[in-house]
Amino acid sequence: MAFYAGFLVVALLLAGVVSYAASSSPDGLDAVTQTGCELDESGEPVGGTCIAQNAGEHATAASPLADYTVGGSEGTTGIAGVIGVLVTLILAGGLFWALRRRSSKDETPSRVE
C-alpha cells in the first residue's frame, strides 16, 4: 500500500510541479508538421506550405482544461496536471478493477489492504 501511495505522489509531483519546467518547444511530431511554414507568435502557420496547415481547430478547444490550463489561465498547468493524473487514475483504475480476475478464497497469499 505504501508503494502505491508513493507511486501516486511521484506522479502528482511530476504533473503538478515539474511540469512547469517542461520545454515549450514543439515536440518532434509538431516540428515535422510545421516544417516549411512560417509561424506566428502563437505557433499558427501563416505562410509557406506544411502539413500543419491541414489541421483543424480542436473539437474540444472550449474544454475548461484545454491546453493543460484551468480556464485558459496562465500558470495553472500544475493544477490541470494534478486533475489529469487523478482523472486518469480513477478511470483506468476503475476499469482495471472491474476487469480483474476475482481471486477465489483459497489462493490469496497477499491481499491488498
Q: Does 70 bind another protein (CB under 8 A)?
A: no
Which CB sits closer to another protein, 4 or 47?
Answer: 4
Which CB sits closer to another protein, 47 or 88?
Answer: 88
The CB density around residue 51, as the number of other CB atoms within 10 Å, is 15
Which three cell numbers, joined as nine digits, stand for 97?
478493477
Interaction mask 73-102, another protein, x per CB under 8 A: -xx-x--xx--xxxxxxxxxxxxxx-xxx-
Among 97, 66, 89, 96, which Cα is nearest to 9's? 89
Kind plus residue range of the DSSP H or E element containing 39: strand 37-39
**Residues ≥6 apart with Cβ < 8 Å to 26:** 34, 43
The CB-of-73 to another protein minimum distance in angstroms stands at 10
Interaction mask 38-67, another protein, x per CB under 8 A: ---xxx-----xxxxxxxx-xxxx-x-xxx
Which CB sits closer to another protein, 46 or 53?
Answer: 53
Q: Does 105 bind another protein (CB under 8 A)?
A: no
Q: Does 9 bind another protein (CB under 8 A)?
A: no
- In angstroms, the first-to-last Cα distance of the chain is 7
β-partners of residue 95 are: none
